[in-house]
Amino acid sequence: MNKPQTSGQGKAVQSSHKQQVSSHSRTEKSAHRESDLLRTFTLLSLITILLISTVGAFTLTEIVTMRMLRQDARVTQQFIQSAAGTERLPDTPYQEEFLSSKRWLAGYLQRIGRFPDTPLVKIYAPDHTIIWSSDRTLIGKNFANNLELVQSLKGELIYKQEDVGELNEGADKTDLSYFAKDLEQVIEIYIPLWNSDQSKVVAVVELYKTPDFLFQSIYEIKVYIWSGATVAGSILFIVLFSIVRNAGKTLKRQRQAIVESEALDTIGEMTSAMAHGIRNPLASIRSSAELALLTPTTAEKMSENIIHSVDKLQEWIGEFIQFTETESRFDNQIVVFDRLVEESLQLINEQANSQSIIIELLPFETYAPVNGDPALLRQLLGIILDNCLEAMPDGGIITIRQQNHDKHHLRLDIADNGVGIPQEQIKNVFRPFSSNKKHALGLGLMMAQRIAMHHSGHIELVSHEGEGTTVSVILPTVSSMHSKVLVIDDEHTFAENLKAYLEQYEFEVELAENANQGLSLVTSWQPDIVLTEARLNDMDGVSLCQEIIKRYPRTTIIALTGQANDKRDQKRDLITRLQAAGVQKVMTKPLPLADIRTVLEQAKSTS
């Protein structure tokens, strides 16, 4: 890790102000999350109570309505069967041959006609023919498609409440003229009549009833049920809301108390660690200064000791400031992580050689990029690699392996065969101010874990004392899908080299030596990304890019130009015209192939 630069008093004040703003921002975010949680619960509970109350009230009203209709139908059935059974006739009046007897009908139908609120009565024979009706014009008609009549002829008592508008003569209902114009509903009842030994239905009586009292009773019951459901639901909602709001306030107070307690604990640990860390260098500074005064001949050596101690203090203060400001800086972009790993290894290569440490980089299993801040990720890798170097003062091996952790995450394993970590200390490795090193604040791994968590990942650690430590960094990947890249460049060697390089990193590459060949491939192959030279022999770059967009608008165009030595205004004009033609990025040759891959990875994630 690079040492931080010296900060003056103004920067310290500015850092303190940033920390206050960051703390205030986190407080606002926490309050916003609590408000969202309360709003979400309120909305969900309201919807749930409304749904339960509505379904419950509807179900209850249907049950009560059907039971009242059934009771009315049974009373009507008992009356009719009683009237038919008490008729004095030579033979049993239920026999089929007597159904057409006017003598029997005269007394029987006279009783039926006395029903209140009964505008229409029909009697059906087993062949669906009306043998008598209060409307004499219906006698003799046959209705074979009446499903309710079919069920009743099987011995079932049929009853239902219908809207008057649903009645029709075609299905053996009736003419609306029988009912009052302001009537909205009617009760229809089918009552089976059995023969003397109850073995056969010999006739069915159909009645249309308009009992105002029954309708009014049903309406009042529905009003009571829905009113009760509304009141009960409102009370339940108010009670639940009050409970949750009070619980939220209690949790907020408890959370605040926990935060304050943790803050005090952290301040205590920080104060202890800082005091210990500062006193040792101060002791060295004071003793060196005293010796310099007592023995002027050692002044040069003592001055070096003082400078070294001051640098150590500066390093600790910078490390602490970095720890507190990790959350406040985050530059989100597409990061080619395997390249970042290689760059981080190059930074420690010289120190590793001086300590006789061998770095073994195993072949990468995945080259999928990640989404994050390259500076923070570089800092994360630096912290872990520095710990590896410190764990092997007498030399050793650092093994690096990058592989697929699962379908959407990569895993970077960094293993050393150093001194390892005692088992009783492993549980505290990610806690601040917890370190077994003599001159350290213990913020490194904690900071690395926080950086990983900011990238929606995490760090795992396995260690055995005397055997070594393996630190695993798990990060979500952006995409591992292949992308089609069309390279249009008349410099054959460069194009072939670029093709060979990109095909190692999950890119499918086609080459075109001129604009016409490239346009043909754009039409037929439809590449995800087009990487083209800005100047070709058969067409200028601006016209080529315009034609590419015309033929396949979904592609992403990246232009390469060799005009590094041209006048600055001319180059700026070319870049402006290329961007206006649809080019996403313009790159200047010559440049490392790895830089081209980084740009393509960024384009792939957005294409």
Cβ(405)–Cβ(474) below 8 Å: yes
Per-residue pLDDT band at 17 (split at 50, 70, 90):
very low
- Average confidence (pLDDT) over 343-363: 90
Give the C-alpha distances (Å, rounded to integers) separating 159 from 84, 149, 150, 252: 20, 11, 13, 59
- Tell me the mean pLDDT in the region 289-307: 79
What percent of the chain stands above pLDDT 90? 18
Give which of 539, 538, 530, 541 is closest to 574, Cα–Cα. Answer: 541
Q: Do the Cβ atoms of 498 and 481 come closer than 8 Å?
A: no
pLDDT (0 to 100) of residue 598? 87
The answer to whether residue 16 scores a pLDDT higher than 50 is no
Task: List CB contacts of 540: < 8 A, sequence separation 6 or more.
Answer: none
Predicted confidence at residue 172, as pLDDT, reads: 47
Structure tokens at 483: 């992308």
Q: Are residues 490 and 579 in the same domain?
A: yes
CATH assignment of the domain containing 203: 3.30.450.20
- Tokens for 98? 């007597």
Tell me what the mean pLDDT of segment 243-253 comes to: 81
pLDDT tens digits for range 560-591: 987 544 556 666 788 888 989 999 999 888 88
Asked if residue 442 lies in contact with residue 432, where contact means CB atoms within 8 angstroms, the answer is yes
In 3D, which of 226, 227, 235, 237 has the Cα closest to residue 44?
237
Is 161 found in the same domain as 70? no
Task: Quote the distance between the C-alpha of residue 596 and its chain's center.
Answer: 34
- The DSSP code for 5 is P
For range 5-15, the mean pLDDT:
40
Highest mean pLDDT among 153-157, 295-299, 397-401: 397-401
pLDDT confidence band for 440 (50 / 70 / 90): very low
The torsion angles phi and psi of 197, rounded to 5 degrees, stand at -100, 15
Q: Indicate whether 591 and 567 sit together in one domain.
A: yes
pLDDT number for residue 500:
93
Please tell me whether residues 242 and 111 are part of one structural domain. yes
Mean pLDDT (whole number) for 230-255: 83
Query: Same structural domain for residues 219 and 312?
Result: yes
Tokens 């050793």 label which residue? 396
Of the residues 195, 210, 225, the one at which a domain ends: 210
Cβ count near 195 (within 10 Å):
15
- Per-residue pLDDT band at 559 (split at 50, 70, 90): very high
More confident residue, 5 or 104: 104
For the entire predicted model, the pTM comes to 0.50
Q: How many distinct structural domains can be found in the chain?
A: 4
Average pLDDT over residues 69-95: 64
- The residue with greater pLDDT, 446 or 109, is 446
pLDDT reported for residue 361: 92
Q: Are residues 221 and 263 in the same domain?
A: yes
Q: Are residues 106 and 224 in the same domain?
A: yes
What is the average pLDDT across 367-380?
86
Whether 183 and 97 share a structural domain: no
CATH number for 403: 3.30.565.10
Q: Model confidence at 466, in pLDDT bands (50, 70, 90)?
A: confident
Question: Residue 192 phi/psi, 5° resolution?
Answer: -80, 145
% of the chain surpassing 70 pLDDT: 74
Q: Do 219 and 360 fall into the same domain?
A: no
Give 256 or 15, the one with higher predicted confidence.
256
Stretch 228-234: mean pLDDT: 88
Q: Omega before 590 cis (within 30°)?
A: yes
Residue where a domain terminates, one of 163, 185, 210: 210
Q: Give the strand pairing for 458-464 and 507-512.
A: unpaired
275/421 same-domain check = no
pLDDT at 416: 93
- Predicted local confidence at residue 288, as pLDDT: 78
**DSSP bridge partners of 290:** none
Report the range of poorest mean pLDDT among 237-251, 324-338, 483-497, 586-600: 324-338
pLDDT of residue 369: 87
Question: Of 194, 210, 226, which one is at a domain's C-terminal end?
Answer: 210
- Helix 374-390 with 444-454: angle, nearest 10 deg: 150
Pair 53, 82 in one domain: yes
**197 burial level (CB within 10 Å; 0-12, 13-18, 19+):** exposed
pLDDT tens-digit profile of 500-547?
999 888 789 999 999 999 999 999 999 999 999 988 888 988 999 999
pLDDT of 362 reads 92
- 268 or 244, greater pLDDT: 244
Q: Give Cβ neighbours of residue 459 (< 8 Å, ≥ 6 apart).
A: 430, 445, 448, 449, 452, 471, 472, 473, 474
Mean pLDDT over residues 374-388, rounded?
Answer: 87
Per-range mean pLDDT, top range of 121-135, 153-167, 200-214, 335-349 = 335-349
Listed ranges 132-146, 215-229, 427-441, 499-513; the one with the highest mean pLDDT: 499-513
Span 465-481, mean pLDDT?
86
What residues make up the domain containing 131?
117-210
pLDDT at site 591: 86
Check whether residue 569 and residue 496 sit in a common domain.
yes
Mean pLDDT score of the chain, rounded to an integer?
A: 78
* CATH at residue 516: 3.40.50.2300
Which of 76, 131, 122 has the alpha carbon at shortest distance from 98?
Answer: 131
The residue-averaged pLDDT of 192-200 equals 76
